[in-house]
């Protein structure tokens, strides 16, 4: 097939906006199919020295292309003089965050279903050595059948799959510096960033498990566990484990969130699981009744 250009698409409404990219709904003029096209200004990427992030996103999405469920797909990329273009799946029902905000908080069966799809997607991603590092309800999309698709791999870390369930990954700007003094090359969104990423520049796949705990808490209560007026105050609350459960928070959900939101990432539930699944999390009472083998084929519960 000939290399696509922007002229092959009719660009529609803006459906996403980030520090380094803008996402548009677009229609392929040949097939009539709808896509989400992520556009990055080359000048901005170069000025902010984010070329490595662009490459990581493309590599991570290419590694996940053949995984049938759980992620947006990257169909093709192209560029012109000023911009880079990523042609991605259009997840018609948008961000999980919009649904949480629309209904206030999810019923337990809805939260359980989407927590299970998110865990299943994390298992597939981590099995390929990919750590997302910025999981949040804005980056979790819902396709036309209301199944979950993780987006935005610009912050991802790609490791050797053999290593991902063993050694921690240390953020390093300058390998000659010792671990504590290493600058963090990346920090996620304050409300969902793990303490190890803040504390000593270590991030592992368990950083995504910390975010899973924050997202389960938010689906059930309506708000993330760590929130404050400023980023710094939010970081302080995380490092002090300063959060509490609202009255009536279901006991099984509370127990699982408490086992995910553990400061020491080596003691987080799932941290020592081997193989390509998080058996210790799957078998937690919160997930009682989930049919793990068929979750992606089931009809999702109605969000109301």
Ligand X SMILES: NC(=O)Nc1ccc2c(c1)=C(Cc1cc(-c3cccc(C(=O)NCCN4CCCCC4)c3)c[nH]1)C(=O)N=2
Q: Does 88 bind ligand X (CB under 6 A)?
A: yes
Minimum distance, C-beta of residue 266 to ligand X, in the bound complex (Å): 31
Q: Does 54 bind ligand X (CB under 6 A)?
A: no
Distance, in Å, from the CA atom of 193 to the CA atom of 178, rounded to the nearest integer, reads: 22
Distance, in Å, from the CA atom of 26 to the CA atom of 239, rounded to the nearest integer, reads: 42
Q: Does 96 bind ligand X (CB under 6 A)?
A: no
Distance, in Å, from the CA atom of 138 to the CA atom of 118, rounded to the nearest integer, reads: 13
- Per-state percent for the chain, helix, strand, coil, to nearest 5: 40, 20, 45
Residue length, the chain? 304
Distance, in Å, from the CA atom of 264 to the CA atom of 285, rounded to the nearest integer, reads: 23
User: Do 6 and 80 touch, CB atoms closer than 8 A?
Assistant: yes
Whichever of 139 and 206 has its CB closer to ligand X, that residue is 139
DSSP helix/strand/coil, 171 = coil
Q: Which stretch binds ligand X (CB under 6 A): 46-54, 90-98, 200-208, 292-300?
A: 90-98
DSSP helix/strand/coil, 18 = coil
Q: Does 77 bind ligand X (CB under 6 A)?
A: no
Minimum distance, C-beta of residue 18 to ligand X, in the bound complex (Å): 5
Tell me which of 9, 85, 90, 226 binds ligand X, using CB under 6 A: 90
Nearest to 134 by CA among 106, 112, 155, 161: 155
**Residue 94 falls in which region: left (phi positive, over 0), alpha (psi -120 to 50) or beta:** left
DSSP helix/strand/coil, 7 = helix
Tell me which of 9, 23, 129, 165 binds ligand X, using CB under 6 A: 23
Site string for ligand X, 133-172 (x = CB under 6 A): --------x---------xx--------------------
Residue whose CB is nearest to ligand X in the complex, by number = 94
Q: Which stretch binds ligand X (CB under 6 A): 87-95, 159-167, 220-228, 286-294?
A: 87-95
Distance, in Å, from the CA atom of 226 to the CA atom of 190, rounded to the nearest integer, reads: 9
User: Do 107 and 185 touch, CB atoms closer than 8 A?
Assistant: no
Tell me which of 10, 11, 12, 18 binds ligand X, using CB under 6 A: 18
Tell me which of 24, 26, 36, 218 binds ligand X, using CB under 6 A: 36
Q: Does 22 bind ligand X (CB under 6 A)?
A: no
Minimum distance, C-beta of residue 209 to ligand X, in the bound complex (Å): 22
Q: Which member of 8, 28, 82, 134 is catalytic? A: 134
Tell me which of 47, 102, 162, 180 binds ligand X, using CB under 6 A: 102
Name 95's bridge partners: 141
**134 tagged catalytic:** yes
- Where in the sequence numbering do the catalytic residues fall? 134
By CB under 6 A, name the binding residues for ligand X.
15-16, 18, 21, 23, 36, 38, 72, 88-91, 93-94, 98-99, 102, 141, 151-152
């Amino acid at each position: 097939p000939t290399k696509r250009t922007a002229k092959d698409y009719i660009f529609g409404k803006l459906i996403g906006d980030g520090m380094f990219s803008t996402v548009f709904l677009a229609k392929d003029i040949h097939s009539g199919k709808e896509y989400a096209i992520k556009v990055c200004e080359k000048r901005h990427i170069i000025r902010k020295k984010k070329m490595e992030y662009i490459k990581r996103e493309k590599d991570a999405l290419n590694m996940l292309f053949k995984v049938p469920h759980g992620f947006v797909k990257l169909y093709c990329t192209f560029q012109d003089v000023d911009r880079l273009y990523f042609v991605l799946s259009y997840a018609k029902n948008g961000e999980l965050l919009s649904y949480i905000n629309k209904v206030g908080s999810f019923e337990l069966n809805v939260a359980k279903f989407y927590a299970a799809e998110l865990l299943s997607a994390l298992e597939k991603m981590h099995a390929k050595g990919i750590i997302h590092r910025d999981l949040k309800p804005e980056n979790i999309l819902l396709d036309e059948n209301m199944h979950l698709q993780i987006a935005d791999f610009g912050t991802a870390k790609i490791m050797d799959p053999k290593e991902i369930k063993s050694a921690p990954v240390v953020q390093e700007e300058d390998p000659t510096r010792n671990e504590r003094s290493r600058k963090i090359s990346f920090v996620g969104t304050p409300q969902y960033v793990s303490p190890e990423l803040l504390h000593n520049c270590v991030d592992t796949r368990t950083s995504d498990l910390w975010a899973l705990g924050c997202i389960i808490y938010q689906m059930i209560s309506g708000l993330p566990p760590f929130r404050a007026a400023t980023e710094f105050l939010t970081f302080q609350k995380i490092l002090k484990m300063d959060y509490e459960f609202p009255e009536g928070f279901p006991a099984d959900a509370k127990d699982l969130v408490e086992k995910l939101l553990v400061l020491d990432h080596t003691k987080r539930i799932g941290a020592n699981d081997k193989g390509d699944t998080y058996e210790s999390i799957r078998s937690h009472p919160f997930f009682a009744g989930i049919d793990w083998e068929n979750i992606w084929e089931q009809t999702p519960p109605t969000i109301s």
